[in-house]
Amino acid sequence: MAETRSEVLHRRVASAAAARDAGLRRLRVATRAAVVGAVALGSAFAGLAAASVHGRKLTTAPNVRAAPRRSRVGASKPAHHATGIAPVPKLVPVASADQPPPPEPPPAPPTATQAPPVAVTGAS
């Protein structure tokens, strides 16, 4: 039995709609993939940038009071924890970044004296 003209037209329209829907689906998948890829790449580059030019000097320089809330003495805890930036691999140990001042000399060295001593220094 031959198709009527209207049946042929209807079939062609349905086929075109199906092709359009398939194209839209492919477009949505491609868009999602592009967004996910962009976010991943952005995160990776942000991490790299933070690792190479991070703010540790600002928080650990001498005379700056904004020390990290919790520091593992001499171990690898990034100082920019205090700034709220996401943790990144540490480049410089805290021990060397926060090296305290060395023992300080007295204002004047001891001098020899003939006065009777009031105390003794020696090993204990």
Partner 1 sequence: VSNAVSFPALGTTAVVCVVEPGGLEPARAAVAQELEAIDRACSRFRPDSELSRLNAAPGRRALVGALLLEALQVAVRAAAVTDGLVDPTIGRTLRQSGYDRTFTLVRARRGCAPRFATVPGWKTIELDAERRTVRFPPGAELDLGATAKALAADRAARASACAAGCGVLVGLGGDIAVAGEPPPGGWPVRVADDHAAPLDGDGAVVSIQHGGLASSGTTVRRWRARKAELHHIVDPRTARPAATPWRTVTVAAATCVDANTASTAAVVLGAQAPAWLSRLGLPALLVSRTGAATRVVGWPED
Give the residue with the Cβ less far from partner 1, 1 or 123.
123
Give the angle 13-16-20 at the CA atoms, nearest 5°.
135
Give the residue with the Cβ less far from partner 1, 89 or 109.
109
Interacting residues toward partner 1 by CB under 8 A: 67, 69-75, 95, 99-124
Give the residue with the Cβ less far from partner 1, 2 or 108.
108
Pick from 51, 54, 55: which is nearest to 66 by CA?
Answer: 55
- Token pair for 51: 């690792």
Give the residue with the Cβ less far from partner 1, 4 or 113.
113
The nearest distance, CB 56 to partner 1, in angstroms, is 18
Q: C-alpha distances in angstroms, 96 versus 40, 61, 80, 88, 91?
A: 33, 12, 16, 18, 11
Find where tokens 């209207």 sit.
6
The nearest distance, CB 82 to partner 1, in angstroms, is 11
The nearest distance, CB 65 to partner 1, in angstroms, is 11
Which DSSP state fits 55?
A: S
The dihedral formed by the CA atoms of 49, 50, 53 and 59, expressed in degrees to the nearest 10: 170
The nearest distance, CB 101 to partner 1, in angstroms, is 7
